[in-house]
Amino acid sequence: MRVFITGGAGFIGSHLATRLIRDGHQVSVLDDLSTGSMANIAHLRDEPGFEYRIGSTRDLPLVTEMVDLADVTVHLAAAVGVRLIVERPIHTIETNVGGTETVLAAASKKNRPVLLASSSEVYGNSTKFPFKEDDDLVLGPTTHSRWAYACSKALDEWLGFAYMRERGVPVTICRFFNTVGPGQTGRYGMVLPNFVRQALIGAPITVYGSGEQTRCFGHVADVVEALVRLMQTEAARGQVFNVGNDEEVSILELAERVRRAAGSSSPIRLVPYEEAYAAGFEDMMRRGPDVSKLFTTIGFRPTIKLDEIIEDVMNHERSRQGRE
């Protein structure tokens, strides 16, 4: 199988590319390196069947060329990280919506299947828990740039289904819930790698808000397994899937578990949202997926528990700090 991955030098994209090459598939990746890194795919550069291009998903001729040569496209390229989203809402909307439309337009020329990455953010302020794929979406006001990302990813989904209905593009939507694992950077506000780094160097572990908000963290290996199965399952086309783990934890408890696993004496410091981001920043108190649809469609359930995820991220960070 020939797979084209946008955002292929990013965290999830590089793990997916590695898995596919290991399984004997041909992989091409496109990344503008705005948040991805060549270091993430350096180990693949000499592998048979792997190629990469540096460029934008908004470059229609380039994207069309790469989509045409692939059996399936996995569109992962997007603006990432809460801080970037709050500070650069124009970039967020243009990158997400513009890039997705370009990929779908290219796929429509030969009806190539597309696996389209979305986000748990689209559920917004919904209080119905756990989140199911057919739940209503409850977004905050347009005056808060916090919701620009959620809105852009929801629009990506609508675009995907519009291209499927009008132009026959086979589309599968994946809503990611806090994917974590070795190699993820905390540069863009990702909570677990930041906690681990802080604990290992003895710095204060910074928890935004009260710490009572809960999240579910899925290991990137589980996420990649789900993606590989979904891209090979025709019955998944035209559907939306939550992709993540359903083990819920408060952010304060996560900080405590990281500190304990590291044997660290780091204090845990609560930082008000207004200090971390901007006045009026909103966050949802609970965010967790119902992942039963994954099992009924592709026979998959996440297998890696949170303590193992923490250990994996910590071992990687220890190794990185040792190299530096």
**Spatial distance between the Cα atoms of 214 and 228, rounded to a whole number of angstroms:** 28
pLDDT for residue 278? 61
Residue 242's pLDDT is 98
- On whether the CB atoms of residues 294 and 218 are closer than 8 A, the answer is no
> What's the pTM?
0.94
CA 20, 23, 28, 34 torsion-angle sign:
positive
For the chain, the domains span 2-179+218-245+288-303
Q: Note the CATH number of domain 2-179+218-245+288-303.
A: 3.40.50.720
Residues 6+ apart with CB under 8 A from 215: 177, 178, 191, 248, 249, 251, 254, 287, 288
Q: What pLDDT score does 186 carry?
A: 67
Query: What does the pLDDT look like over 30-62, one tens digit per residue?
Result: 999 988 999 999 999 999 999 999 999 999 999
- 256 phi-psi bin (left φ>0, alpha ψ -120 to 50, beta other): alpha
Question: For the segment 132-182, what is each residue's pLDDT rounded down to a tens digit?
Answer: 999 999 988 888 777 888 899 999 999 999 999 999 999 999 999 999 999
pLDDT digits (tens, 9 = 90+) for 98-109: 999 999 999 999
Strand-pair partners of 143? none
Q: What is the pLDDT of residue 92?
A: 83
- The active-site residue out of 52, 123, 149, 163 is 149
163 is catalytic: no
Residues of the chain with pLDDT under 50: none
The alpha carbon of residue 232 and the mean position of all alpha carbons in its chain are separated, in whole angstroms, by 20
